[in-house]
Chains A and B, each alone.
Chain A
Amino acid sequence: MRPFDYVRAEDPVSASRAAAQANARFIGGGTNLLDLMKLEVMAPETLVDVSRLDFGGIAEDGDGLRIGATVTNSDVAADARVRRTWPVLSRALLSGASGQLRNKATTGGNLLQRTRCPYFYDTDTACNKRRPGSGCAAMGGETRNHAILGTSDQCIALYPGDMAVALRALDATIDVQRSEGAAERFSMQDFYRLPGETPDIETVLAPGDLITAVHLPAPKGDRQIYRKVRDRASYAFALVSVAAVVRMEGGRIAHAAIGFGGLGTVPWRDPDVDAVLVGEKPSAAVFDAAADTLLRGAVPEEGTQFKVPLARRVLRAVLEEATA
């Protein structure tokens, strides 16, 4: 771990100001950042601690819900309103990490969780995400836990989390306080960036930009499912996960919003997949068409071939359950 300056912010505005410099980072729960700092995968010179700031807890906001950036994963998962109206989020959170980690991990920090690509973690290997331009050791190496959607010739690192997958299906938005003080709201779609030529840049956030809250609109679907396939029963990242928010009307699918984990370089949602489903009567053919659409651009490596049939099977099972 490189020595660093530690600043405990007084309020969000001064926090943003303190962090508006190259190589400064906010720290919330630190459940991912500290590990990466110990390995010097990340080596910020300044840490701005926002964990004690009041971003509001969980509050009703019209017919939606506002979740302050420092509310822990455990508290979100346990919230009665979340469990009743947005259960897919609660399920996604509880399927991730461990109880101890969820007690520390924050909503804002979790959105910025970084990949588990083992070459990203290994400072003795090449990684374009960790050291731009150094190459990608994962390609040609061990790729079982890598992405098949949204990859580039620079990076195949997988987005590993669960919470953001559910948030995508819920059309959540992210409130950001820009470093100069202006508030801005981003859709999940706009918040994350595909690796392209710059896999080190993962979101729209610039230095000093601070996540202040996540906003959940009233759910457009009452049938909510989070299903995660993993190597062991707990404490493992998704091989494939599916978050589905579905509403049925008159035997047809009136609303479908499907988020995917374990597949993409970012928390994945494909509007074309949703479009294939909406207006249709549930059937194996429709579900297969949705899977075809999802996987039409998939670029599996040798180690991730299995994700193609697995994603298809899990999507089909989730849709069967959600539309039954």
Chain B
Amino acid sequence: MTLDLKVDGQSEERAEAFAQGLLGTALDRPDGVLKVTGAAVYAADDVPEGCAYGMLVRAPGFGAIEVGNADEVRAMPGVLAVIRDKRMVRNAAQGTANAAPVQGVDSADYVGQPVALVVAESFEAARHAAQALQLRTDGGPLPVNPGDVETEGEPDTTGDLDAAMAEAPHRLDVTYTTPSMTSAPMEPHAAVAWWEGDALTVRSALQMLKYNRNELADSLGIDPAKVRLLAPYVGGGFGSKLGIAAEAVAAAIAAQDLGRPVRVVQHRRQVFETVTRRSETRQRLRLAADRTGKLSGIGQEAWVSNLPGEVFQEPVTQATAFAYGAVHRVIGERLERLHRPAAGSVRAPGEAVGVTILECAMDELANDIGIDPVELRLRNIPDTDPEGGIPFSSHMLAEALKTGARRFGWSDRAPKPRARREGEWWIGTGMSAAFRVNVMMEAEARIALSPEGAVVETDMTDIGTGTYAILTQIAGEALGLPAEKVEVRLGDTTYPPGSGSGGSWGAATTGNAVWLAAQEIRAELARRMECGEGELTLKDGTATCGNRRVALADLLDGATLEGHGHIEAGDAFSKVRQSTFGAHFAEVAVNDVTGEVRVRRMSGTFAAGRILNEKTARSQCHGGLTWGIGMALTEGMVHDRRDGHIVNRDLAEYHMAVNADVPPLDVHFLEERDPWAGPLMSKGIGELGICGAAAAVLNAIHHACGVRVRDLPATPDRVLAGLEE
């Protein structure tokens, strides 16, 4: 039996009435000790007997690949094979692609494309042989720079923005740029592949196994039923492990060719090139407002890029569509086909850069009009979704803005920039609203309840987000079990297909599937207790109904009870607009001599429905704010203008925020239940924290020193250029 739910409308609150008291608490990760003691086995951490080691080789240029010395390399000590197989993939598959990405090794579409795999008896021998392999390319220059090519697509237009701009007493027309960015998970992309007959097993670093299985099978030309994927522990993903990637396909091919297991780990420099980057963007923002700040027009046009053959286009403006009310609108993207490494989802695709720049523009407008930036947002909150006219499932922006402002002490702020100085440092504050679309996918989960406790199984992943913890809490709450009586098993395609981790949908989607599986078991327990389910109380392994209390072990009578849950999004995601909301506040110091910026404090207030685990949710938001600091101040891939290759492809030269860049972070959650978001009434929290966070920092820079940096990141040279004026 399966309890199926298609979420078409509002759910009833049930968890409040449950007795275990586990849901929403700051439960420590059940997998935490394993991870910090090194006992958790990540993809590359263990290899089967007889394993060989592969190293990918990158194309040094464009066009047809010619190998100069394959025979010499094959003859090197320890080398087993030089593999160039047309099934190898050009770049990682896009999230939810469910089919192979572009394949082939005969020709390179971007500099850095993996076009060969060298396999040897040891990692060291493979790496050296890979470096010895001489590859030549004969391709001429291809377009690699924004502006070099015609664009695809046009923004959506409503009303007449040009006229609104002409008439408005206050108008803003500015262009910002954001650079390519990388996700840089701590665990590099890795795969260990082995075959048993025609059956393939791959342990890899992946976010969404049910799609990845099909992507890998399609890449290899085999039946997905013959593929088993394992990803019990994943050391961060941030979108870069959404799709099957070069190392997994290459490892499977090599293991097949050699008849023995093969491990392939991407070098950090390869991770920068072969998995998808966040596209660079150019964004033109136009805002037209009356004297009170009420918007009559809003324009956000974004130029983004991707390789030919990729369907992904950074959805820069997807939250702008519903963020603020305005009658006249030009909102959307244009795509340029550039031969830079492939672009794809990186934490909060769309909003991370789109909301950030929208919120910078809102700050500029508030400054021009002379009204408080918080007040400007409050005046433009729409009653219904401005695009479709449908209601919001819930709208918490006003509360987030007001609560956040209070927590931060915003009311003390000087209205004008350059008002506060401490020695060489200008001090200022800035804010931003946060928006992120809420998405539900489809997921299944299974629970087996035995006298020993509950075992939850789904091929869902925990990419550092806390899945093990929250699924423990959901099952424990519904079944009346303490955390230690719940075992969660993840990351194995032999389990029921979960939603995968991506788009902030993992917790709510797979969590609801677990919830449903537990409800099925509850119904059976109620039947055995001979009472209605509403009268059944489950707590600490006992069932209570009226004046009757029975231990679960007795109720089960030594047998195992199975529940199976299945959830999918229905009309609830089109009848109403579902979004999460928040507000960021930041205080920065800008050095008047050097242009260096230091963030002194930062506060984020967020609403995302029910918070399933107060601790892991908070960690997600800490990560989002930290990424926001990086986006504002330090991060950016540099593409060589001649061939588009990523120049700064290591962690010394690609500057993510380090501990010293991150001040104490204040994160606060607003109490909320969103009945449209499924039975748990919980919405995605994983990406909300980054959405707009950089804008709070950038706006604070302006408030501090009067410099508006419109080309991110705001490195010292860019701030200094403004200070010099």
Contacts and interface: CB of A to CB of B under 8 A. Distances in A.
B317 to A, nearest CB: 29
Given A140-B642, A229-B596, A124 B58 contact: yes
B96 interface: no
Contacts of B657: 232
A141 interface: yes
Given A229-B596, A233-B661, A310 B58 contact: no
A52 interface: no
Contact of A231 (B124, B715, B721): B715
A3 B594 contact: no
A233 to B, nearest CB: 4
B716 A239 contact: yes
A3 B129 CA distance: 11
Given A116-B653, A229-B594, A317-B593, A234 B716 contact: no
Nearest to B112: A124
B658 A142 contact: no
Contacts of B127: 1, 38
A306 B598 contact: no
B103 interface: no
A16 B717 CA distance: 44
B716 A229 contact: yes
A121 B661 CA distance: 27
**What's the dominant secondary structure at chain A's contact region?**
loop
Interface in A8-25: none
B245 to A, nearest CB: 21
A235 interface: yes
User: Which of A121, A122, A144, A231 has the largest count of B CB atoms less than 10 A from its CB?
Assistant: A231
A39 B131 CA distance: 8
Interface residues of B, number: 38
Contacts of A252: none
A234 B658 contact: yes
Given A124-B60, A231-B634, A231-B716, A306 B721 contact: yes
Contact of B128 (A1, A313, A314): A1
A142 B128 contact: no
Interface string B204-225: 0000000000000000000000
A207 to B, nearest CB: 23
A1 B124 contact: yes
Nearest to A307: B717
Interface string A153-180: 0000000000000000000000000000
B291 interface: no
Given A142-B647, A229-B594, A234-B661, A306 B717 contact: yes
Interface in A223-255: 229-237, 239-240
A283 interface: no
B300 to A, nearest CB: 28
A123 interface: yes
A315 to B, nearest CB: 10
A121 B720 CA distance: 29
Interface string B493-506: 00000000000000
Contacts of B642: 140-141
Nearest to B59: A124
Interface string A168-196: 00000000000000000000000000000
B411 interface: no
Contacts of A118: 647-648, 653
Interface string A135-160: 00000111011000000000000000
A2 interface: yes
Contacts of B660: 232-235
B131 A123 contact: yes
A231 B594 CA distance: 11
A161 to B, nearest CB: 13
Given A141-B641, A317-B593, A232 B717 contact: no
Contacts of A75: none
Contacts of A306: 717, 720-721
Nearest to A234: B660
Contacts of B650: 121
Given A38-B127, A141-B641, A234-B659, A314 B594 contact: yes
Contacts of A40: 128, 131
Contacts of B633: 231-232
Given A140-B642, A142-B647, A234-B661, A317 B716 contact: no
Contacts of A240: 594
A309 interface: yes
B724 interface: yes
Interface string B111-155: 100000000000010011001000000000000000000000000
A239 B655 CA distance: 13
Contacts of A3: 77, 128
B640 A141 contact: yes
A233 B652 contact: no
Given A145-B653, A229-B594, 9 more contacts: A124-B60, A142-B638, A142-B648, A231-B634, A232-B661, A233-B661, A239-B717, A310-B716, A314-B594
Q: When A and B form their complex, which 10 residue pairs have the shortest distance between CB atoms, in order from nearest?
A: A306-B717, A233-B660, A234-B660, A124-B60, A142-B647, A229-B594, A317-B593, A118-B647, A40-B131, A233-B661
26 contacts: A1-B124, A2-B128, A3-B128, A40-B128, A40-B131, A116-B652, A118-B647, A122-B647, A124-B58, A124-B61, A124-B111, A140-B642, A141-B647, A142-B638, A230-B596, A230-B716, A232-B634, A233-B598, A233-B658, A237-B652, A306-B720, A310-B716, A310-B717, A313-B593, A313-B720, A317-B594
Interface of A: 1-3, 38-40, 116, 118-119, 121-124, 140-142, 144-145, 229-237, 239-240, 306, 309-310, 313-314, 316-317
